[in-house]
Chains A and B, each alone.
Chain A
């Protein structure tokens, strides 16, 4: 049996989450191959690297390319593209697709529900199995060995190219994005108002980070949806996450599971977030955050 890993890369450098997927695949099967699009990434530790000659992103065409390799097991990172391409490939191959798997052995998988706040133990029935790996569920283990590179031009159906990217629009306002920031300072209902976020913005700026918010804040109209951290917002994985006045509902925690360290600032010592936070300060957000920025200024002076 061979596990075929769909590897994402930017300019030849393999994506961190795809490296996790490769590690997962090596744990699942002895024989691992990879498939990539738009150039030849520097993959190691696989027997063969198939490089599909397709210009631009068209999920159905990419899935067709994967399906044409007649795999029995397909693995990818649980990114937007990974999930999308594998779902197409499942529909094409008649395979069974489990998204965001954290563990697998044969046809037994454990996958995430509720953005990771709940796990499902399941059984895969079918000759072709497709799995995406939940981000940060697997620690990267590099493996050596240069693959044999096999470029190929898959036979595509006309319908495969209908949905394809025709243009890319840059919407960034400059500066760090929420998904990439090393530090995120988030505010919830406890911040009290849109104006209350000013002190959070100051703190984030001083720490080289950005401001996020909870869903309640977005629905109250205090901040745009692009600032929302959570299961239906942006999923973040900063070095340090500082949620302020956020109680820790599961849908919010699903968005910040990737955070390396979490410092919660909340007036309620029994809030659910305290069970996940590494550190906590108890009290009023509007008093504590300015005190921290003041202390930072003092120490830096």
Chain B
């Protein structure tokens, strides 16, 4: 079974957001990067499916040249090949991203049986790239998947709804978007990392498009401007806490 996973390189922000001078990006100097959390679980899920039933995993990303780092991380988890649609790192809107991914997928020699996305990327959180790609390819899509199983050429997928799960059964080829918590990604071994360094990364330059959801600028939401009211220090603050709880009608 051929599985293709789409991932995105996102920065690891800390306690506060700092923007670049032109207010069009986060200041990423001195920040580490990772595969967006939902997608990292997507790579792990794809690798598990292929380990159980045979096949191979390809990982695809649209991003700057540095996104190769995330592709190598995905290959260390078990993906066999990687494709980088290289951009200059600027913001691409969801429709342009989806179009570029669709073109890359259509160019694949072996069409993937299953395409995996994260439900939404940690940074831009558009909630639509996976769905747009599914429409363009004419495939069914299940989103927000927390449990996935391949049964006789079909998928059984569970979508979280409150404290219940909705079950879908769709035939392959299909698309899913997964959520973190579907699995706990493995800690890659060093031999796997060394092997990943030698695996091929294909590079292509996608044609962009004028954004229809056009980012004008980024804004850090205003804080309240004040720090918390300190009720006390140490266990001695317990009476003050209980007083607060009673005042809030909770205790």
Contacts and interface: CB of A to CB of B under 8 A. Distances in A.
Contacts of B54: none
B17 A272 contact: no
A14 interface: no
B166 A168 contact: yes
Interface in B206-227: 210-221, 223-224, 227
Q: What's the interface size class on B, roughly?
A: 35 or more
- Tell me the interface secondary structure of chain A in the complex: mixed
Interface stretch (B55-63, B106-114, B228-236): B228-236
Interface string B226-251: 01111111111111111011101011
A84 interface: yes
Interface string B160-197: 11111111111100000001110010000000000000
Given A163-B168, A172-B164, A288-B237, A232 B180 contact: yes
A240 B250 contact: yes
Contacts of B158: 169
B125 A248 contact: no
Contacts of A27: none
Interface residues of A, number: 95
Contacts of B248: 239-240, 261
A292 B242 contact: yes
Contact of A231 (B122, B169, B184, B235): B122
A215 to B, nearest CB: 8
B64 interface: no
B218 A119 contact: yes
A122 B215 contact: yes
A110 to B, nearest CB: 7
A262 B120 CA distance: 27
Given A165-B167, A232-B180, A299-B251, A118 B26 contact: yes
Given A240-B250, A271-B15, A279-B244, A264 B228 contact: yes
Contact of A126 (B126, B165, B212, B241): B212
Interface in A275-301: 275-284, 287-288, 290-292, 294-296, 299
Interface stretch (A36-44, A85-93, A145-153): A85-93
A195 interface: no
Contacts of A116: 221
A37 B135 CA distance: 22
B26 A123 contact: no
B212 to A, nearest CB: 4
A60 B228 CA distance: 46
B231 A279 contact: yes
Contacts of B215: 120-122
A20 interface: no
A183 B230 CA distance: 20
Given A162-B140, A166-B169, A87 B229 contact: no
A218 to B, nearest CB: 8
A213 B45 CA distance: 23
Interface stretch (A46-54, A97-105, A186-194): A97-105
B250 A113 contact: no
B235 A250 contact: no
B238 A83 contact: no
A155 interface: no
B241 A283 contact: no
A250 B220 contact: no
A263 interface: yes
Interface of B: 13-17, 26, 37-38, 94-95, 120, 122-128, 131-132, 134-136, 138, 140-144, 158-171, 179-181, 184, 210-221, 223-224, 227-242, 244-246, 248, 250-251
Interface of A: 57, 59-60, 80, 83-84, 87-88, 90-92, 96-100, 110, 112-126, 132, 159, 162-172, 177, 179-180, 182-183, 207-208, 219, 221, 225-226, 228, 231-233, 239-240, 247-251, 261-264, 269, 271-284, 287-288, 290-292, 294-296, 299
29 contacts: A83-B127, A91-B128, A97-B94, A97-B126, A98-B213, A99-B125, A100-B127, A110-B219, A118-B220, A120-B218, A121-B215, A121-B219, A124-B214, A125-B213, A162-B171, A166-B167, A167-B167, A168-B161, A169-B167, A172-B163, A232-B38, A279-B229, A280-B228, A281-B233, A281-B241, A288-B235, A291-B234, A299-B242, A299-B251
